Amino acid sequence: MRLGRLDNEVFFKKAFTDEIVFKAFVKDIIGIEVNPDKIETEKAFQPKIGNINFKYDIFAEDSEKRVIIEIQKVEYDHNFDRFLHYHLQAITEQQRSSIDYSVERTVYTIVVMTAPYKIHEETGKFYHDEVLISNLNPKNLKGIEREIFNHKLIFLNPNYKGEDTPQNYRDWLDLIYESIHNPDNPNINTENEGVKRAVEMASYQNLSPEEWEQSKIEVGKQQVILVEKEATAMDIAKNLIRMDADDEFIMKATDLSLKYVHILRDLVKEEDNK
């Protein structure tokens, strides 16, 4: 059974909108059991909040536990601010139906990154974390956290395998990574029933003719994105070369190979000598 690439939106949504997969994923990543009323894709709030047209890849609510779960998959946009907006919108949207300032449902946003991080534009730092977790709970002056809000924003990036990553995260991170890099013979933990079910759902054999056609369209979109990324990476690399950055820094910033960086160094010399 060939595993579909989970950086392809068709396979990703087919797997993670399955109720068994969704509930297992949430249990492992967030640590809570949920029974979603329904699982939606391309969820948008109407009327929209502000001037940004938000759509959630996967969105589900558990009305009994007052929980909202969002899952966002992204392979090209590493703007952390974007997903902070998504997360906060799901919190503030609840205010429209409330007579006071209370937020009745806890919001959990899980962002699945399928490509390496780039250097952060504002801080200039290069992140290589497999799991990043942010919450809104305040701390007192002794550093003790007070559980007041409990909303969580979680970033998962399987491109940076951590030795200390707990098994509950590892199972899913390996699934995502192997689906992209080793789909014919993935090294994953199928003892995890949620992962096993995800493999079944995200297999080529399980696609309808319509889904198969849409998956091919998604591949075409990714090729366009890849070309755009490479062009942007080349421009960034050339600018860094002119700033006397070393090869290792340029490779981390752009995800380009050492051979390609050397080619660009020669190109920059030619351009600057004209």
pLDDT in tens, 175-221: 999 999 999 999 999 999 999 999 999 888 877 777 767 766 666 55
pLDDT digits (tens, 9 = 90+) for 211-268: 767 766 666 555 545 555 666 778 888 888 888 888 888 887 777 888 888 888 888 8
Say yes or no: 144 and 239 in one domain.
no
CB-CB neighbours of 251 under 10 Å: 16
Say yes or no: 199 and 243 in one domain.
no
Say yes or no: 185 and 236 in one domain.
no
Which residues span the domain enclosing 94?
9-207
Average pLDDT score, the chain: 84
pLDDT at 144 over 80: yes
Identify the pLDDT of residue 193: 97
| Buried/exposed code over 69-104 (b: 16+ C-beta within 10 A; e: otherwise) | bbbbbbbeebebeebeebbbbbbebeeeeeeeeebe
Residue 1 lies in a domain: no
Mean pLDDT for 12-22 is 94
pLDDT at 126 over 80: no
**How many Cα atoms sit within 13 Å of 12 on the Cβ side?**
22
- The residue to which tokens 């703007």 are assigned: 79
Say yes or no: 228 and 200 in one domain.
no
Residue 56 lies in a domain: yes
| 3-state SS, residue 205 | helix
Where is 153: in which H helix or E strand?
A: strand 152-156
pLDDT at 168 over 90: yes
Could you tell me which residue, 33 or 76, shows the higher pLDDT? 33
Residue 226 lies in a domain: yes
Mean pLDDT for 159-178 is 94
Identify the pLDDT of residue 156: 94
CB 180 within 8 A of CB 5: yes
Identify the pLDDT of residue 195: 97
Say yes or no: 59 and 162 in one domain.
yes
Angle, CA of 31, 82 and 116, to the nearest 5°: 75
Of 3-12, 20-29, 200-209, the range with the lowest mean pLDDT is 200-209
Say yes or no: 95 and 230 in one domain.
no
